[in-house]
A = this chain, B = another copy of it.
Amino acid sequence: MLTWIRKHKRILLYGSSLALLLFLLRWLEFRFLVLSHAIDIYVGAIALMFTALGIWLTLKLTRPKTHTVIVEKEVYLPAETSSEINQSEIEKLALSRRELEVLNLMAQGMSNKEIADGLFVSLNTVKTHSSNIFEKLDVKRRTQAVEKSKRLGIIV
């Protein structure tokens, strides 16, 4: 019994506080309403109590703002695949030679214009290759393409 009380003392405390509050309200109502012009005090008390109630409610009931921390769990790739280029993955994705060239230059951080100049083709050609690469890799942007292809070991 004593342990139960100790265990739930917080609940008991809140419960009895609420009861006390209600009792106080009742008392105040009778006490002040018999006096003329005491309504202000009564209302003031009400205001105070319910302000406190609002504060208490908010503190108790607001959900804590969740802060997501991404912990990076290191997963080491098998030693053979780490440094080598994954040829089978390239074939699986059906990436052509030219597309791989463009992909590698992309990974160096080059713009489409720079890639075009480097490969002596037009900007439009590079854009076409890029679009085909993104479709084959199932990504939306060049940054994703670089990230994914590095992860898959397609490029160094």
| Contacts known (A69-B70, A83-B74); A29 close to B43, Cβ less than 8 A | yes
Within 8 A of B (CB), among A46-72: 46-59, 62-72
Chain B nearest CB from A143 CB (Å) reads: 4
Q: Which residues does chain B contribute within 8 Å of A145, judged by CB atoms?
A: 109
**Chain copies in complex:** 2
B108 and A147: CB pair below 8 A? yes
Q: Is A154 an interface residue (CB 8 A)?
A: no
B78 and A75: CB pair below 8 A? no
Q: Is A146 an interface residue (CB 8 A)?
A: yes
Q: Is A125 an interface residue (CB 8 A)?
A: no
Q: Is A127 an interface residue (CB 8 A)?
A: no
Chain B nearest CB from A44 CB (Å) reads: 8
Q: Is A4 an interface residue (CB 8 A)?
A: no
B70 and A109: CB pair below 8 A? no
